[in-house]
Structure 1
Amino acid sequence: MTARVLLYGKPGCHLCDDARAVISRVCAALDESFEERSIEGDPELTSRFGEQIPVTFVDGRQHDFWRVDEQRLRLALSQPPPQGG
């Protein structure tokens, strides 16, 4: 099963820590999974997201950056994932 939530961040980022806590709480409550990827050491990801981390994707679409709104994330995850690919 592929995680519905993907968090891009990097070590030492306090906003990433805050986002991870919200995502962990929401995903645990809704029995969903999430993955986390560091942009550190990846020039493409750093160029794309470097000024916006943390960046959150839900079902492959950018959902939030800088801060994760718990209610907005719950709402997004209450919708069924898109079919196909």
Structure 2
Amino acid sequence: MCATAAGRLDELAAELGFSWTSTDVDAAAAAGDAALRAEYGDRLPVVLLDGVEHSYWEVDEQRLRADLAR
């Protein structure tokens, strides 16, 4: 699911001209930062927009397009 979401975000970023980053919450937890796993673990992948949870499990493309247009 994460790879699918990342692929779609890559396509949308190319089309709409935004950039995005990803964070591996499992790697962060293994490195001692379990906060992300505790916060988002059951809803991965999670899309944050300006630091606020926007969608989870899949990219809500229609909503993302609308919010980026604002």
Is TM-score (shorter-chain normalized) higher than 0.5? Answer: yes
Contact kept? 1:26, 1:73, Cα under 8 Å: no
How far apart, in 2, do the equivalents of 1:60 and 1:43 lie? Answer: 18
Q: TM-score, normalised on structure 1?
A: 0.70
Residue in 2 that maps onto 1:22: 8
Identity of aligned residues (%): 34
Specify every segment of 5 or more residues in structure 2 that has no aligned partner in the other structure, as ranges. Answer: none
Structure 1 residue 69: Cα displacement: 1.9
Q: Which has the higher strand share?
A: 1
How far apart, in 1, do the equivalents of 2:63 and 2:10 lie? Answer: 14
Residues 51-75 of structure 1: per-residue CA shift (max 9 Å, x gap): 1000011122110011112222111
Q: TM-score, normalised on structure 2?
A: 0.83
Hey, which bits of structure 1, 4+ residues long, moved more than 3 A? none
State the Cα RMSD in Å: 1.1
Choose which of 31, 40, 46 in structure 2 pairs with 1:55. 46
Aligned residues: 65
Name which structure has the greater RCO, CA cutoff 8 Å, separation 6+. 1
Contact kept? 1:49, 1:55, Cα under 8 Å: yes
Structure 1 residue 49: Cα displacement: 0.8
Q: Which has the higher helix share?
A: 2
Contact kept? 1:54, 1:65, Cα under 8 Å: yes
